[in-house]
Amino acid sequence: MSRAFVFPGQGAQTIGMGQALAAAYPQAKAVFDEVDDALGESLSGLIWEGEQDVLTLTQNAQPALMATSLAAMKALEAEGVSIDVASCVAGHSLGEYSALAAAGALSIADTARLLRTRGEAMQAAVPVGEGAMAAILGLDFAAVQDVAEAAAQGEVCQAANDNDPTQVVVSGAKAAVERAAEIAKEKGARRAVMLPVSAPFHCALMQPAADVMAEALAGVEIKAPAVPVIANVRAAAVSDPSEIRALLVEQVTGSVRWRESVVNMAADGVSEFWEIGAGKALSGMIRKIDRANGVRAIGTPDDVKAALEALNG
């Protein structure tokens, strides 16, 4: 059985995530300590004892979710489950950074600093209230691309996240996204839901953030990952450090091609997906992409033990 390790993106954050892992595994606690040191603050205190609305701020949620994913990865490693158990890794948006850190391409400290910078830059790129995102339910990616094009009317409106066959997210100028939601319903979408986000991610309005990330990524070492990483914007495996760097910059304004990524991993023989970190959002998407895919979410010590038993069973 071939498996992929996949890492969640923004939206999965909850107060208390990773705390049980840190209590059960010194290796997991060390991840949170390393992230705290890298950022010069107690992010772990916010994650475990803070307020949900503060944790949800983009500049906090991004490094926090990465820390939780890497803590789960270190707990697996403590039980003898190394990255080599996976044939590839992938992550949804910021989760791609978690995947790269798990595969040894980026250090945990560098990843924490990059994600803090990324979160701040994405928030600063567009004044609050000027951008928006909406989930279009019941239309495929090509149909939503057409909807976004029709809705743009000279403003930015793009199909940003191809999550699964039933959900595509549009992103851009607020008025254009609102038009897209209405057009989508006219075109047969089951629902169009405005998302409670603070910025229009993964569209051309994020270009200032992409410029910031180009500079930030130029200053860190990126190694060849231990296993291939499926890049969001390409939905294909990459291992070359210079290519990884370029694609992380492109990812800020480019579409997250998650559905295609899962389809391509399955076509390459992956039959089981382990979601490493907080929540089960990716597991739900993967099931909708192909119910034949096996999924397993690993975010607690019990999940780690169950994964170990399944692996050795």
User: What is the tens place of the pLDDT at every residue in 222-245?
Assistant: 999 999 999 999 999 999 999 999
The count of C-alpha atoms lying within 13 angstroms of the C-alpha of 76, restricted to the half-sphere facing its C-beta, is 27
**Angle, to 10 degrees, between the axis of helix 207-218 and the axis of helix 241-253?**
160
Alpha-carbon distance of 159 to 260, in angstroms, equals 14
pLDDT of residue 196: 85
- What's the rounded Cα separation, in Å, for the pair 151 and 178? 8
> What is the Cα–Cα distance from 74 to 71, expressed in whole angstroms?
5
> Quick one: tokens of 293?
């895919």
Q: Is 159 helix (H, G, I), strand (E, B) or coil?
A: strand
Q: How far is CA 278 from CA 18, 251, 265, in A?
A: 8, 22, 22
> Which of 202, 255, 261, 283 is labelled catalytic?
202
pLDDT for 128 equals: 87
Residue 232, classed as helix, strand or coil, is: coil
Distances (CA, A) of 191 to 108, 168, 179, 188, 220: 39, 11, 14, 9, 42
The whole model's pTM is what? 0.97
Q: Which of 44, 69, 92, 93 is catalytic?
A: 93
- What parts of the chain have a pLDDT lower than 50? none
Strand order in the sheet with 131-137: 157-164, 167-173, 131-137, 191-194
Catalytic site residue 87?
no
Dihedral (Cα; 6, 8, 9, 13), 10-degree rounding = -170
Strand order in 229-231's β-sheet? 236-238, 229-231, 88-91, 2-7, 270-276, 294-298
User: What is residue 186's predicted lDDT score, i.e. its pLDDT?
Assistant: 97
pLDDT digit string (tens) for 24-60?
999 999 999 999 999 999 999 999 999 999 999 999 9
Annotation marks residue 92 as catalytic: no
How many angstroms separate the CA atoms of 69 and 56, rounded? 16
Cα(207)–Cα(302) distance, rounded to whole angstroms?
42
Is residue 28 within 8 Å of 298, Cβ to Cβ?
no
137 CB-near residues (< 8 Å, 6+ apart): 166, 167, 189, 190, 191, 192, 193
Q: Which of 184, 85, 180 is nearest to 139 (CA)?
A: 184
Amino acid at 285: M
